[in-house]
Structure 1
Amino acid sequence: MRFRTRLLSFTIVILGMTCNAYGQASFDDGLTARYAGDLETAAQIFSDLTQENPENSDAWVQLGLTHLTLENYDEAEAALKRAIEIAPDYSDAYLGLARLEWFRGNREPAEEYLSLAGDTEDTRALRRQINATPDVKKWRADIGLGYSDLSNSLPSWEQVDVALGYQFSEDTSATIGLQYANRFNISDVYVDAGLTHTLKNRTLLFASVGTAPDGDFRPEFQFRAGSEFPLVSSKDRGVELWTRIDASTASFSSGDVQSLGAGLQLRLHNDRYRIGANLIGLSDEAGESRSGFALNGEWQATRIARLLIGYVDAPETSEGITVDVRTVQLGCRFDFEDRGFQVFALSEERGAYDRTGVVFATNWRF
């Protein structure tokens, strides 16, 4: 009996030592995988450890840092904040959160977390990096002026656009805009608000809603949404193929109009050249289906100057009716560090009359 009791005690001790060694080895395996760049394996190991012991602050920190390297920012934030709940003075967790906010483009939160991370070589290095980077200008203002002459002695068109945008993070921004347009001596005021967000795979999502109360030629209500994303990307060759899909619905005084567009754009020589084509489908105010296309090209002529050309043969809803329009556009855009300028000239055939016009626009960040 005494022998069996001793054997049982010895077995329990061995099992306890084995479990402890296994747990320590699993943590070490996670570190080894993370430092070797096998991030998916590391994330799985640290996730398992946090499930086995939800109070393991070390595993939570390593899980957060692994997700940070994987650019899974939401998962990284949750793990690092969980570590701080367990160990409020865990400096590595605060340093991880500081890096996370810095990668997101949020300078102030990054500096706040960094102040809680203590004074180490790593914190000093990140602080030097932040201090060496100019403040991100999150506001952007746009102003555009347009003037057009019409054939057949018709009154000219004038248009003024103003917009104000704010960048919440590196990936998300919002814009509000106002447009005053005068056509045939009739004026409309159109206001809209839009939101854009870029996913980690560079997919751009956008949506906007606008209205022109009692509009004569601008929509009384309009909603638009779409996406742009890379289909093929070869950084070594400097070539990318992007696609764009967008849809809209609008209510005019004469009826409702829906449109759907899809296109491809080839970007060459590290985006120095762009060639694009779009197909456009539209259901007009009478419920009839119409279609058209658009072609465009861009050339980065100098470091700051980009030349643009476009041709459109597609239906357009104006003055409450949908007409087939052929447009040729030529323009140039100048981009400086915090300011940009654009000028466009256009020529249109609109059936009942022709239009020639010019547009000047500028934007600046602050």
Structure 2
Amino acid sequence: MKFALMLTAVVLAIATPALAQPQKISPEWRVYVSASQSKLNKGRGKWQDAALVAAYRQNASTWLSGGIETSRRFGMQDTVISGRIARTFDKGATAQVALAGAPGAKIRAQTAIQVGATTAPIVHFSPEWSLNLGLQATAAHYKSNDVGSFQPFVEVKSDKGAEFSARAIASFGDFGKTLYGYSLRGLTPVTNRMRVQVGYADAPESDSGITLKTQAYSGGLAFDINDWTSVRLDAAHEVRDQFDRNELAVGLARRF
């Protein structure tokens, strides 16, 4: 589901490393800027999205973030404001809650909430590789309908930064219709400063309160210019019954 909390995991992941656990830590700020444009076939025109997010590390285990995003589709434009709190617990378990609102929105959710959690590693394949489980749930109110999703997932991670995940997706509420699907994602460092990500999804997608089955192929490249600045380039191809969509996105992250 395109909840789009701007906390845009794809953008944020390039600049939010795992939280360390020292006894005392200085506050830390991060700012994320992203923009994307999609071209639709069959004469459907283009979509544009842009987002600005600021994140603050309150302590060694808690991040607070908020952002604003604007979306333009089919000649209509909505602005969404969101906030998120994420916490890491002992041994690596995590939990997060995010809220978003766009009063009067025509194409985006007018209100939405997302909650999620992951376990600490439950299986260690080797000193380097481990497996954990997670769950994410979303509920959103659109102008015409209420929709939600339920997504259990499994992650396999390396302490060197590689990560692979598989997610089952159930989307419900679209006038009583429930759709099911899945997504796969892989992320791996190729150098000390560069990471590559690929993904595939055959899953329901909600736009304007209407949920449709889609197929999506995605890839991305993130590069750390220095210890304080990262940039990202992503591309995606999405296939729907109504049209195909090609998206190109860029992102900038600054830590200070």
TM bracket (short chain): 0.7 to 0.9
Equivalence for 1:105? 24
Distance 1:147 1:291 in 2: 27
Give the superposition deviation at 1:361.
0.4
* Mapped contact 1:230–1:240 kept (Cα < 8 A): no
Taking structure 1 as the reference length, the TM-score comes to: 0.62
Instruction: Give SS of 1:201's match.
Output: helix
Match of 1:203 among 79, 90, 93: 93
Larger relative helix fraction:
1
List alignment gaps of at least 5 residues for structure 1: 1-101, 108-135
Give the superposition deviation at 1:281.
0.8
Instruction: Give SS of 1:103's match.
Output: coil
Match of 1:187 among 62, 77, 101: 77
Instruction: Give SS of 2:121's match.
Output: strand
Equivalence for 2:11? none
* Mapped contact 2:194–2:223 kept (Cα < 8 A): yes
Distance 2:126 2:184 in 1: 27
* Mapped contact 1:104–1:171 kept (Cα < 8 A): no
**Equivalent residue pairs, number:** 235
Equivalence for 2:44? 154
Taking structure 2 as the reference length, the TM-score comes to: 0.87
CA deviations 1:190-242 (Å, max 9, x no partner) are 11000001111211111001111111111111011011223335495311102
Q: Quick check: 347-356 or 332-341, which moved more?
A: 332-341
Give the superposition deviation at 1:154.
1.5
* Mapped contact 2:201–2:215 kept (Cα < 8 A): yes
* Segments of 4+ moved more than 4 angstroms: none
* Mapped contact 2:151–2:168 kept (Cα < 8 A): yes
Equivalence for 2:203? 314
Tell me the C-alpha RMSD between the 2 structures: 1.6
Are residues 293 and 236 of structure 1, via their aligned partners in 2, closer, same or farther at CA, if it must alter by over 3 Å? closer
Give the superposition deviation at 1:151.
0.1
Give the superposition deviation at 1:178.
0.5
The alignment status of 1:356 with 2:250, answered yes or no, reads no
Instruction: Give SS of 2:22's match.
Output: helix
Match of 2:169 among 266, 280, 300: 280
List alignment gaps of at least 5 residues for structure 2: 1-20
Give the superposition deviation at 1:290.
1.1
Are residues 241 and 141 of structure 1, via their aligned partners in 2, closer, same or farther at CA, if it must alter by over 3 Å? same
Distance 1:320 1:307 in 2: 32
* Mapped contact 2:218–2:234 kept (Cα < 8 A): yes
Are residues 196 and 153 of structure 1, via their aligned partners in 2, closer, same or farther at CA, if it must alter by over 3 Å? same
Percent identity among equivalent residues? 21
> Max radius of gyration: which structure?
1
The alignment status of 1:332 with 2:251, answered yes or no, reads no
The alignment status of 1:254 with 2:144, answered yes or no, reads yes
Instruction: Give SS of 1:329's match.
Output: strand
Instruction: Give SS of 1:162's match.
Output: strand
Letter in 2 for 1:161: A
